[in-house]
Each structure stands twice: as C-alpha cells, then as structure tokens.
Chain A
C-alpha cells in the first residue's frame, strides 16, 4: 500500500515543475519557469538581461545617479571639453561644459521611452491587423495583407524619415514614425499564428456557443498569438533603438538640449579629431544597450522557437 502512495514533492519549485498542474495559473507559471530555466543556461542571454535590467534601473534612479544636471552646463571657462577621467567628470564634458556621464544617464530615460512607446503602439496594431486578416480570410485578408506588404516594401529608415519630415522633427514624432514603420512584421506573424488556430475545435466550440467574432479574436486568438509577437518585439528593440538614434543623429529626432544619444553623437561630431570622447561615449552607450537587447532576444528565440530546439 505504502509503495503505491505517490509522495508529492513539496516546495515552490516542485509546484512550478509539476507534471499535473491543477489550475491554469499553475500551468502558465510552470511554463514561464521552464523557459526561465532554459534561458538561465545561456550565459550570453543572461548578460543581455543584465544590461536591460541595468538600463531600466538607471532610468528610474537617474536623478540620484547623475552627478550633474544633464542640461545646464558648468563654468564655460574652466569645464569645457574636459577629457575623460578629469576630476569630477568621469567621461569628460562636452562643448557646453555639460557632464557627459550625467547626460548619458538621463539619456536612458529617452531611450527607454522610445522603445516602450514604440512597442506599446506597434504591437496592438500588428496584432489587430494580423489576427483580423487571419481570422476572417477572404478579401479582408487580401486587403489587409496587401496594405501590410506596401508598408513593408519601404525601407524602414527612409519611411520614418519621410514621416518625420511631414510631421516635423521631435522625439514624439520620431516615435510615431518608427511605430508606423515597425508593425508590419508583427501583423504577418500574428496572421500566420491565427491561421494555425482558426480552425481548431475550441474556436468552433466558442463560435457555437454564440461568441461574436470580436470576442473570439480578442479573448481566444490574440492571447495565443501574444507570446511569439512579444519575442519578435524584443528582437526588434535593438533595431528600434538604432533607428531612433539615427533619426536623432540626423537632427530629426530628439531636439537639443535633450540628452538623446544619437543627437549627442551629432553634437560631438565637430570635435571628433581633437576631442574624440564627446562623440564616442554616447555611441558606446547605444552599442551596449542595443547589444543587450540583441543578446536577450537571441536567447529568447533559442528557447521559445520550437524549430531551433534540439
């Protein structure tokens, strides 16, 4: 008798890894935990995650971390274009005697804002267009997907440039322009996912119970497409950062005196030969952050993409 009694292992870990989840929540949390375990084994992805977390923390605590005001400079006679490792200015100062480190620290807020807002704007558009096209099929599908292809046919930076030209320079318009140009891949992905679940029995059952199309798409199709779209968005974040920095560099994104990294590079360009640090430091910051997103996205894809799994 005692041999037959199966002793349940206890503890949170066992609860998460249980083969017989008793609730939907337990199953979902267990799945996330398994993903996390797989991701933890990939040290490059962990480095990426650390960079992204550091970015968020620095953005939150910017006023406490930054030693100086990012917009108001120091004394123009004594503190202009100081090299790195000068006393009090770890990364040096720029031509307006502003501490570069402080500007970089405040710049994380702009970078994070761009990434977050583009994701918040572009993901729902992509999901809406993709799931609608996939669910209804027929001419709705044809029209929506042709439209998606048209937007996709434009090179991204060029289209963003044209939109910013039309809307006027500024970081808000840069965000709108980048969002407008980045939803098509999400729409395609969401459509492909929708096609695989559209004809499942559970969808048919829901429909027989009298659920409206809107309800089916919103409550049953969208949640299932969500995870793959989110991975794709994570993978795109580095690209979003680079596009925003490129717009800033061309003077079409954030306007001075905002400490946006791309605009800072453009500002330091004039002193490149003699005061190399002014243009170089923000570039290193952009590089580290977008590398972080790339490493994390790369690891996430390895873990979540069943095709890549061995």
Chain B
C-alpha cells in the first residue's frame, strides 16, 4: 500500500513537472505572439498619432498625443507598455467604432464561435464514420470515394463554394436563408443573453426564430463542416487502419466477436484518443477558415470584423483580433495536448 501511494506521489510530481513545462511553452509562445503583433503594428505605414487626433489637429495636440502614446521612448520600452496594456485587457480603441477593442471582440466573437461549433459538429458526425468506412473497405470504392471527396474539400476555395452554395440553395432553390445570422423580422423576438442565437432562441422557446436562425447557419456551417470533414475523415482512416492491423483485433475475430463490434467498439475506442487531438485542431482551423466564410455570408463575427478593420486600416482592431485568434489557437493546441494525456493510459503511465 505504501508502495502504491509512493508511486502515485511520484507520478503526481512527474505530472506536475510536465504540466509546468507545458505552461512555460505556452507562456513563451504567447510572448512571441505579442512580440509579432507588436512589431507588425510598428511597421505599418499608418501614423498612430494621426489615427487618434485626425489630420487637422494643430501641432501642439499632435506632439502631446505623440508623447502620450510613448512613441518617443525606445522600442523595447514601447513593447513593455504594450504588454502591460494587453495584460490589463486594454487593446486600445477602434478607430472605426470608437469603442474599446475588447468590447468589440466580445460582441462579435459569439457569432464566430457558434458557426465554428456547428461546423465541427457536422464535420465530426460525417467525417468519423466516413473515415471508418474507408478504412474497413480499404482499397475498394468507398475508400476511393472518401479520398476523392476529401481531396475536393482540400482543393476548392471556401469563399467560392460559399458563393456557389448561396447561388444554388438560396437564390435558385430557396432551401435556406441568405446571408446574415437571422432575419430582421425575428431579430427582436428574443433577448440576446449569450450571443449564441441558436442557444438563446431555444432557451426562450422562440421556435420560429430558432428555425430562421437555423436556416441561416446551416449553409455556412455545412461548408465549414465539409472542410473539417476532409481532414477528420483522412485522419480517422489512417488511425483505424493502424488499429485494425493490431493483434487484439485478430484475437477478437478468432473469438468470434461480430465484425461491427470489433470496428465500432474495440478499434474505434483506441483510435479515438489521437482523434480527439485532430478534432480539437480542426476546430481551431475553422476559426481561421471562417474569415473568408464570414465575408461571403455577411456573418457578423470575428473574421468579418477583422477584414472590415483591415480594409479601413484600423490597426488596433486588426492586431487585437489577430491576438485573440492566435491565443485561441494556442489554447486549443494546449487543450488537445492535455486531452491526449488524460485519455491515453499509455501516455499517462509513461509520463
């Protein structure tokens, strides 16, 4: 008994060490992220003082703001000021909306989150079975079909597929609603609480509004889902092939375990561990893919905010948005690492 508690204590210490190292990696990566955004902000040809005071301000005002912004200080000191500001949640004010960037991002982020979540759900529900199907029928036509569908997903420009989708399903067939999150008629039929329209309408029992929001989100959501499906099905296939070649599968077959049970229970359970990482990473990837999708579907999310700010040279907003997306990326990477550790007993023991 003492041996086992001793072992557990040691394992805990090792865990802690690993966790600390992970945390350090994240801290360094995040620091680098801040440095890169800061430097991008400094090489922009936009004069930050003019962005604040406008180009008609007298010289005295210009000079005062120049000093206030700390532009006379050395670069590293400016970076230090930038760090302090970011850590107190101050990303500056948007030149366009005249509001703090943090408020702007908090307002648009739920839309992106909702879209990406719908996308990843569709991608997982289609991609995992498709990958399993391809692995079980390796080399036969289902395998080829899934492979070609995946390659098409990798090859088509998402903004173009979005336009074609709008043309066919919205303009010609009238199966789905057009751009935007919800029709104006329904916009005030519920009180936005979380900012997730599907969630808010469902919680308040506004089913007509829910149906409308759903018909808005289903097309962009399916598109994002298709793109993540391309990656998820490919990875599922290779993980499943690796598992199905293992000896325990042969043993199970010899014991007379039905094939569906071998595939869906024995093999899938083991393939699921690396699969979680893949799904987390494609979730992060969807946030990036959504920049173009949101532009096409006039989706009022982070991607559209970012491109709008870009086109209007609103650098504070661009850098804030970049930083937020970068942080989510880092966060999800970290999360998938942790999940891998938690789910795989072999990794747990080795650690």
A→B interface (CB under 8 Å): 146-147, 149-151, 153-159, 161-168, 238, 242, 245-246, 249-252, 262, 265, 269, 272-273, 276, 279-280, 282-283, 286-287, 290-291, 294-295, 298
Closest B-chain residue to A156, C-beta based? Answer: B288
Can you give 19 contacting A-B residue pairs, CB < 8 Å?
Answer: A153-B29, A155-B326, A157-B292, A158-B322, A161-B318, A165-B44, A165-B315, A166-B43, A250-B292, A250-B307, A265-B157, A265-B160, A272-B163, A272-B167, A273-B167, A280-B164, A283-B163, A290-B154, A295-B151
**Contact residue among A147, A154, A238 (Cβ-Cβ distance under 8 Å from B326):** A154
Decide if the interface of chain B is mainly helix, strand, loop or mixed.
Answer: helix
Chain B residues with CB below 8 A from A245, complex form = 157
Chain B residues with CB below 8 A from A165, complex form = 40, 44, 310, 313, 315, 318
- A250 touching B29, Cβ below 8 Å: no
Closest B-chain residue to A48, C-beta based? Answer: B151
- B37 touching A287, Cβ below 8 Å: no
**Contact residue among A149, A161, A249, A280 (Cβ-Cβ distance under 8 Å from B159):** A249
Give CA–CA (A251, B311) in the complex, Å.
8
Chain A residues with CB below 8 A from B45, complex form = 166, 168
For the complex of A and B, the 10 pairs showing the least CB-CB separation, nearest first, are A150-B32, A283-B160, A155-B288, A291-B155, A290-B155, A166-B44, A166-B40, A273-B171, A287-B156, A165-B310
- A158 touching B326, Cβ below 8 Å: yes
Give CA–CA (A295, B284) in the complex, Å.
25
- B322 touching A154, Cβ below 8 Å: yes
B244-303 at interface with A (beta carbon < 8 Å): 284-285, 287-289, 291-292, 295
B306: Cβ under 8 A from any A Cβ: yes
Give CA–CA (A163, B43) in the complex, Å.
9
Chain B residues with CB below 8 A from A163, complex form = 40
Chain B residues with CB below 8 A from A146, complex form = 28-29, 32
* A279-B318 in contact given A158-B306, A163-B40, A249-B292 (Cβ < 8 Å): no
Closest A-chain residue to B164, C-beta based? Answer: A280
Give CA–CA (A269, B33) in the complex, Å.
35
Q: How far is the CB of B126 from chain A (nearest CB, A)?
A: 20
B212: Cβ under 8 A from any A Cβ: no
B136: Cβ under 8 A from any A Cβ: no
B→A interface (CB under 8 Å): 25, 28-29, 32-33, 35-37, 40-41, 43-45, 151-152, 154-161, 163-164, 166-167, 171, 284-285, 287-289, 291-292, 295, 306-307, 310-311, 313, 315, 318-319, 321-322, 325-326, 329-330, 333
Chain B residues with CB below 8 A from A167, complex form = 43
**Contact residue among A155, A162, A252, A280 (Cβ-Cβ distance under 8 Å from B284):** A155
Closest A-chain residue to B151, C-beta based? Answer: A294
Chain A residues with CB below 8 A from B152, complex form = 287, 291
* A262-B157 in contact given A154-B329, A162-B318, A252-B310 (Cβ < 8 Å): yes
Chain B residues with CB below 8 A from A242, complex form = 155, 157-158
Closest B-chain residue to A161, C-beta based? Answer: B310
Closest A-chain residue to B170, C-beta based? Answer: A273
Give CA–CA (A168, B155) in the complex, Å.
27
Give CA–CA (A233, B348) in the complex, Å.
35
Q: How far is the CB of A249 from chain B (nearest CB, A)?
A: 5
Q: How far is the CB of A197 from chain B (nearest CB, A)?
A: 27
- A279 touching B40, Cβ below 8 Å: no
**Contact residue among B155, B166, B310 (Cβ-Cβ distance under 8 Å from A287):** B155
- A238 touching B154, Cβ below 8 Å: yes
Closest B-chain residue to A268, C-beta based? Answer: B163
Q: How far is the CB of B104 from chain A (nearest CB, A)?
A: 16
Q: How far is the CB of A182 from chain B (nearest CB, A)?
A: 14
Chain A residues with CB below 8 A from B155, complex form = 238, 242, 287, 290-291, 294
Give CA–CA (A74, B315) in the complex, Å.
40
Closest B-chain residue to A261, C-beta based? Answer: B157
* A153-B285 in contact given A265-B159, A265-B160, A273-B167 (Cβ < 8 Å): no
* A283-B157 in contact given A146-B28, A153-B330, A155-B285 (Cβ < 8 Å): yes
Chain B residues with CB below 8 A from A151, complex form = 36
Chain A residues with CB below 8 A from B322, complex form = 154, 158-159, 161-162
Give CA–CA (A280, B168) in the complex, Å.
12
